[in-house]
Amino acid sequence: MRYQIRAAQIDDLAEIIQLNRRTGLSEWSEESYREAVASKQFLLIVIELPEEEKNRIAGFAVATVIFTDLEILRLAVKPSWQRRGLGSVLLQHVLEWGKEQGCKRCLLEVNADNQAAIHLYKKYDFVELYRRKNYYSHPPGDALVMESRLHRVHAERTGRVPIR
Ligand SMILES: CC(C)(COP(=O)(O)OP(=O)(O)OC[C@H]1O[C@@H](n2cnc3c(N)ncnc32)[C@H](O)[C@@H]1OP(=O)(O)O)[C@@H](O)C(=O)NCCC(=O)NCCS
């Protein structure tokens, strides 16, 4: 499978918003996506499959930096392309970007019933920090706040001991 990761552009927003809907992510306004494309405070990347005839965007991720925290705000892969490693590729990309920005840890919220995402995050060293009861309404559920220490991820990926 050939894929390309690139920064999203305004022209991609219709496809991204459609993907947002199809993957059951909580709603985000077009305005929020526009801001994520335009502002340097956000990373909005898409994974594109150049060999697809149309709807080439197979997934996307949105993240931002708050002081030394990288926060993942959105991550989704088109249902027909799930379980082929694309979610992992997007996540790794976001984590690398966070490290380049000098972030020390990554934080995210996930529905406590979302086993696919929780497995993915655990695979990348995320641990549960705490639970927010009845945080989501569509679908209802608790939120888990998860954290990953970025220097540790880096050390494991490169086999080097982090400099403290
Ligand atoms: C979560 C999501 C992004 C994963 O994308 P993906 O491309 O399927 O992920 P990958 O193929 O890279 O899978 C990596 C790991 O995630 C875990 N995983 C992914 N889908 C899973 C599933 N359905 N059940 C259990 N574990 C799953 C596995 O540990 C998997 O590793 P493995 O294949 O070696 O077992 C995708 O399921 C999705 O878009 N879900 C809907 C939107 C969403 O919930 N986003 C997260 C919001 S916090």
pLDDT higher than threshold 60 for residue 5: yes
Could you report the per-residue pLDDT of 40-50, keeping only the tens digit for each?
999 999 999 98
Pocket flag, ligand 1, residue 117 (CB < 6 Å): yes
Sign of the four-CA dihedral 92, 93, 98, 99: positive
Task: Return the pLDDT at 70.
Answer: 98
* Distance from residue 119's CA to the centre of ligand 1 (Å): 7
Task: Return the pLDDT at 151.
Answer: 77
Whole-model pTM above 0.75? yes
State in words which class domain 4-158 has: alpha beta
Pocket flag, ligand 1, residue 80 (CB < 6 Å): no
> Which protein residue has the closest C-alpha to ligand 1 atom 48?
110
Could you report the per-residue pLDDT of 139-161, keeping only the tens digit for each?
789 999 999 999 754 444 444 54
Average pLDDT along the chain = 92
